[in-house]
Copies of this chain bind each other. A is one copy, B any other.
Amino acid sequence: SMLVGLSLPAMADSTVDLVQALVSKGVLTEEEGALLSKGRSNEVEVQKKKESKSWTSRVNLRGYVQVRNTTMLGGDDGINLWSDRSVGDDKSLGDADKNFLIRRARLIIFGDYGDHLSYYIQPDFASTAGTGNNNFAQLRDAYGDVYIDKTRVHRVRVGQSKVPYGFENLQSSSNRLALDRNDALNSAVRDERDLGAFYYYTPTDIQALFEDINKQGLKHSGNYGMFALGLYNGQGANRPEQNDNYHVVSRFTYPWKAESGQIYEAGIQAYRGEYLSSTAAYSRRNAAGALASATPTLGTGTPLSGRNGIEDERVGISFIMYPQPFGIQAEWNWGNTPGLDITKNVIEKKSLNGGYVQAMYKIDNFQFLSTNGTLIPFVKWQYFDGYNKAETNSPENHVNDWELGVEWQLAPEVEIAMVYHRMNRTNLVTGNRVASAANTANNLQPREDYENFKAEALRVQLQYNF
């Protein structure tokens, strides 16, 4: 009967439904009904075509902004945390921002165009164009994914994008619990990104599991393939290549779901290449024990052994038990890197190792006042005995830090993170404050660069998503 035909109205088109009803009533003939229904479906087609040709179907915009504020709780003063300028006090080196800081202001322009292209352009509007001149727009990502087939199992990503080395490196900063990445793996690639070409292989079942992890809000890294292989310049994001050879990277990661529903992921990654450090004057104690300015050499001999780069190679392992509700995330890596020997005043091949362990607990439906959100307390320990090649002079970096924090997602659009951070680490900011008339006149006390410090801070971040 007609009523049966009408029983699923939301699935069909209401005009067609009405026409069919009138046909079944005998008001319209079958032929007339067909003609009218065809007219309606043509109309719908025209509308769909119009929508798919609209620029808004090819281009999408979204973004996020992170505003930070840090309060020092104790320990040494005049310190710097290289990854966050809001940490420090009025004796800190360089352009520490101490109070409020826009850490990231990201706008992402992305989309699919046709069957074979996805593209992703991500400027950061909190980049520094020169000392003291902040908040310029600089690229983080600018790449296209060219899909070999429509299943998206095989793809080649060309442009500036994240180098597939390390789970936390690949995870978006908008997703990460800790305010900064661990030094041990993050020191592998400046700003996590480089310019190159990367092949990614992701079987459809792995694609589905990655998507599942992401949809559950379990803070995934995003799909960088089950297997990845890439060639890239090697000097880091937004830096010119220096030595006309490539870095090569490969990664294998495997996620699986236990019968309990608990999801795990384990991965291994490695890269190698030659890296050219940037050098500048720094302040060190000379043989006589006095503070003096020095600029390191890239290796030794004539010509200098490191003039075209120094060996830069690592292997790392990752393990994640996703927070359902309790989770563990741990990574470690070992390798060789360009690093500064202060005694010799030479940058040369050095070894490194380090990583982190993080535990977290995801509380859904956390209700406070009129909000109904998600609360994730976490604790993170990180260790690094190595060098940060991408900082000026590739200084030694010793880290043994604890972070105890909580991320509160009030709503999809607003998140607050509060972290108690106990730092025991090297100050990587080059100050070059030797004793000089000029420094004295500017109230800059002489300081040795790259010293270790201990300090405690309460760090707060407000994040907007749009």
Which A310-339 residues sit within 8 Å CB-CB of chain B? none
- A413 adjacent to chain B (CB < 8 Å): yes
- A28 adjacent to chain B (CB < 8 Å): yes
A18 touches B19 (CB 8 A): yes
Size of the A side of the interface (Cβ < 8 Å), in residues, is 116
User: Which of chain B's residues have a CB closer than 8 A to the CB of A25?
Assistant: 27-28
User: Which of chain B's residues have a CB closer than 8 A to the CB of A28?
Assistant: 21, 25
A27 to B232, CA, bound (A): 72
A143 to B135, CA, bound (A): 13
Number of copies: 3
A54 touches B56 (CB 8 A): yes
A377 to B60, CA, bound (A): 34
- A14 adjacent to chain B (CB < 8 Å): yes
A159 to B414, CA, bound (A): 13
A90 touches B239 (CB 8 A): no
Return the CB mask of A26-53 against B: 1 if under 8 Å, else 0: 0110011001101110110010000000
Interface of A is mostly: mixed
CB distance from A412 to the nearest CB of B (A): 7
Which one of B18, B61, B298, B412 contacts A59 once the chains associate, using CB atoms below 8 Å?
Answer: B61
B65 touches A196 (CB 8 A): no
Return the CB mask of A1-31 against B: 1 if under 8 Å, else 0: 0110011011011110111011001011001
CB distance from A56 to the nearest CB of B (A): 5
CB distance from A67 to the nearest CB of B (A): 5
Other CB < 8 Å A-B pairs besides A27-B27, A102-B139, 9 of them? A6-B35, A95-B240, A117-B464, A127-B136, A132-B239, A132-B278, A135-B138, A144-B464, A298-B443
- 16 A–B contacts, CB within 8 A, in A order: A6-B36, A9-B36, A9-B39, A9-B42, A9-B43, A17-B36, A59-B62, A67-B158, A88-B244, A95-B240, A97-B240, A107-B121, A125-B139, A126-B142, A129-B136, A297-B441
A: which residues have CB within 8 A of B? 2-3, 6-7, 9-10, 12-15, 17-19, 21-22, 25, 27-28, 31-32, 35-36, 38-40, 42-43, 46, 54-56, 58-63, 65, 67, 85, 88-90, 95-102, 105, 107, 109, 111, 113-117, 119, 121, 123, 125-127, 129-130, 132-139, 142-144, 146, 158-160, 195-197, 232-233, 237-246, 278, 297-298, 303-304, 307-308, 410-414, 441, 443, 462, 464-466
